[in-house]
Copies of this chain bind each other. A is one copy, B any other.
Amino acid sequence: MKSDQRQLTEGILFTDEYQFTMAQMYFRMGLHEKPAQFDYFFRDYPDYGGHKAGYCINAGLEWLADWMRSARFRREEIECLRGQTGRGGQPLFSADFLAWLERNGHFDALTMRAVPEGRVVHPNVPLAVVTGPLAIAQILETSLLNHLNTQTLIATKAARIHESCRGQLIIEFGARRGHGTGVNAATRAALIGGAHFSSNVGISHALGFPPKGTHAHSMVQAFLAMGLTELDAFRAFAETYPDDCVLLVDTIDTLGSGIPNAIRVFEELRRKGHVPVGIRLDSGDLAHLAIEAARLLDAAGFPEATIVLSNELDELSIWQILTQIGQEAARNGMEAERIIGRLAYGVGTRLVTSAGAPSLNGVYKLVALRRDGRWVPAMKLSDSPAKIPNPGDKRVYRLYDRRGKATADLLTAKEESPADMPEIVLRHMTEARLQRTLRKADIVEAEPLLGTVVDQGRPVYAFPPIEAIRAVRRADLDRLDPGVKRLMNPHIYHVSLSEKMWQMKQKLTASMRANLPRSS
């Protein structure tokens, strides 16, 4: 793309056409400035095929807020809409609507409550609640979904990979296979969700992280084409980076050439007073090669040298590798835990594309409209009860049990609070017969999840740095039942409605069904 087009394609026109056709219709009807409320939530955890997440990690909010502040109709955007024509060749948008849009086409009038980034989140819980003029809140839909869906999806995958790596170092390597510039959002989300560093230089700098990387196969190939050897290549690299030397050992033959040459260079480094960092394995049977590499490095007196694994890794392949090391190490006279404790992981493609589930099914639904001075809940029926959104202005509480573990998320009406309930009835989202009652004494905390981020366009929330967001993630994961964190077949975390919310939803559904034309 030409760089002068970028602003046009990533500003307020980074949205779907129907937002503007609807906005103009609302304008025509005098409804465009009616206060409306929309909920962002996702319907289900990512399902990677054969394994499905038991939780997600919330992410994307700060970039959405940045976008909301900068995106607005300028003359260029107005001219784009002015040039659009309908089937008959007539202008699609009228001059009075465009004049209104030129004055009001920005997000300075919106209020947004949201769940902070890094929090563990679950389906059907409003993660962002937007209130403001109907036409404007509607125009926000596409970009809000794009920002929050992308980063929550990738932060979740990163958290799963982090879970599988048992605390070892993870570097995100995905810039070459992620989707266009969207991979920068993926890198940020990966850092929130569990990657410690990234190889992506620009976005690492922007976020305050040192980018990480060593060398590619091409470096060894170049030396070979020059009539030199792998050993020459390793030596040259070690001379340039004597204290930061990680060598990629599989360009020719991992065990036959790469590791022996790396060890020779490491010995040379040691004689000069340097500590070599380690090696990287990028192909073959990684568990087997890691065991063999550990044995060779130990024998040469480098028991601390890191072994970096890469090559299409994800949470399951890492789990498989660690399982295999557990089984094979002892048979080879090695201690599995010592090998696992020196591993690091370069995780790219499958992390930044959330392989298996490359999209999050987050939606943005109208839940209330202000009419005659009060909020009227908005509903949508569906043949599938799970797809009927929870109407109205809501509050969300996370309930913690005596162990300090999160036991459920509770959606209540605005005026309710768990503190005022004699006991807490948890109603299933759709099934009348499914409910459980919690004794107040068993609940040590009812934590409100939503906080105000933007108050009528005014930023009222200090976005924390990534490091603080990661601390939020770690704390939340510590308060999550281990069963919910399982990579496969996790326990289902409860997201429930209060009795009052449940009754309201039932009443609204019934009254909507009663008004169906075919029933009359």
**A-to-B contact residues, CB < 8 Å:** 1-3, 5-6, 8-11, 13-22, 24-26, 28-29, 31, 34, 36, 38, 49, 63, 66, 70, 80, 84-88, 90, 92, 134, 138, 141-143, 145-147, 149-151, 173, 175-186, 188, 199-206, 210-222, 224-227, 229, 236-237, 239-241, 243-244, 251-253, 256-257, 260-261, 277, 283-284, 349-350, 353-355, 358-362, 365-366, 368-369, 371, 376-384, 387, 512, 515-519
Give 12 CB contacts A-B under 8 Å: A8-B202, A16-B201, A22-B216, A49-B49, A85-B210, A150-B178, A180-B184, A182-B183, A221-B379, A225-B377, A261-B517, A349-B361
Q: Closest approach, in angstroms, between the C-beta of A198 and any C-beta of chain B?
A: 8
| Residue among A181, A188, A241, A387 with most chain B CB within 10 A | A181
Once the chains bind, are A222 and B1 in contact (CB under 8 Å)?
A: no
This chain's copy number in the assembly? 2
Q: What are the 5 closest A-B residue pairs judged by CB atoms, nearest first?
A: A182-B182, A17-B213, A180-B182, A18-B213, A13-B202
Residues in chain B near residue A237, CB distance under 8 A: 25
Given A92-B244, A371-B227, A516-B256, are A214 and B18 neighbors across the interface (CB < 8 Å)?
yes
CA distance A283 to B385 in the complex (A): 13
Once the chains bind, are A387 and B283 in contact (CB under 8 Å)?
A: yes
Residues in chain B near residue A519, CB distance under 8 A: 256
Q: Closest approach, in angstroms, between the C-beta of A459 and any C-beta of chain B?
A: 13
Given A9-B202, A175-B146, A176-B145, are A21 and B215 neighbors across the interface (CB < 8 Å)?
yes
Q: Closest approach, in angstroms, between the C-beta of A385 and any C-beta of chain B?
A: 13
Q: Closest approach, in angstroms, between the C-beta of A95 and any C-beta of chain B?
A: 14
Q: Closest approach, in angstroms, between the C-beta of A93 and any C-beta of chain B?
A: 10
CA distance A92 to B260 in the complex (A): 27
Once the chains bind, are B241 and A86 in contact (CB under 8 Å)?
A: yes
Once the chains bind, are B202 and A366 in contact (CB under 8 Å)?
A: no
Instruction: Return the contact of A224 from the options B236, B361, B378 (Cβ within 8 A).
Output: B378
Instruction: Return the contact of A179 from the options B24, B84, B150, B518 (Cβ within 8 A).
Output: B150
A85, closest chain B residue (CB): B210
Instruction: Return the contact of A149 from the options B177, B239, B512, B515 (Cβ within 8 A).
Output: B177
Once the chains bind, are A28 and B240 in contact (CB under 8 Å)?
A: yes
Once the chains bind, are A217 and B380 in contact (CB under 8 Å)?
A: yes
Given A184-B10, A219-B22, A225-B376, are A201 and B15 neighbors across the interface (CB < 8 Å)?
yes
Residues in chain B near residue A365, CB distance under 8 A: 217-218, 221
| Residue among A90, A214, A239, A380 with most chain B CB within 10 A | A380
Once the chains bind, are A359 and B369 in contact (CB under 8 Å)?
A: no
Once the chains bind, are A25 and B244 in contact (CB under 8 Å)?
A: no
Given A2-B66, A25-B236, A149-B177, are A205 and B80 neighbors across the interface (CB < 8 Å)?
yes
CA distance A56 to B201 in the complex (A): 30
